[in-house]
Amino acid sequence: MVQEPGHCPMTDDWLRLDRARAGDKAAWEILFEQYYPALVRMAFVITGSYPSGQDIAQEAFVDLLRANIRHRDGSLKSFLSTIAYRKALKERQNLLARGSLDGDAVTDETPSILEGVVKNETDRLILCAVRTLAIEQREVLTLRYFGEQSYEEIAHALKIPLGTVKSRIFYAIKSCRDKLSKQGVFK
């Protein structure tokens, strides 16, 4: 794809949102197709429930349309994934309170649903390793790799220093690598 001078994907997404809010169905579809799958994956990792992940992703888009956005300093992707992240945390708390959340729920999903989120056995084992991390490590890793946020976006979303984000990601990856090495996934 050839970029025009001054072309900025970050700005293009905000402009698409403006057009979607004004009723442009094509702009809405582009945003939805671009971000929905990643939002579902991220919410699924947090809640352990694929249907909850789908609902959360859809609700995040509804909230995006209704949001009174004061500034557009960051990317729309970051803004949207932060909405979905916070909704997923609330849903996880609700599932825990109802006793509906099983720590191994990711392994109980039907194969067709699980295949939509993880492509192979190694991905499933990685996902399970991520779900065993301390919440502080899991949240930064989830936002980074499933929410596709930059370190700076994570720091802003979680209101923690950039160095803390980097440190938590480093130790989260190390912990996952150690667990997966013991399972024979990595040598």
Average pLDDT over residues 137-141: 90
- Where on the phi/psi map is residue 120: left (φ > 0), alpha (ψ -120 to 50), or beta? beta
The mean pLDDT of the chain is: 82
Query: What pLDDT, on a 0 to 100 scale, did the predictor assign at position 101?
Result: 60
Helix (H) or strand (E) holding 163: helix 162-182
Domain ranges, ordered by start, for the chain:
9-182
pLDDT surpasses 50 at 165? yes
Interatomic CA distance for residues 179 and 186, integer angstroms? 9
Query: What pLDDT, on a 0 to 100 scale, did the predictor assign at position 2?
Result: 39
> pLDDT tens, 64-88?
988 888 878 778 888 898 899 999 9
With a pLDDT cut of 70, the percent of the chain lying above it is 82
Q: How confident is the model at residue 45 (pLDDT cuts 50, 70, 90)?
A: confident
Q: How confident is the model at residue 55 (pLDDT cuts 50, 70, 90)?
A: very high
Supply 178's token pair.
């150690």
Average pLDDT over residues 131-158: 88
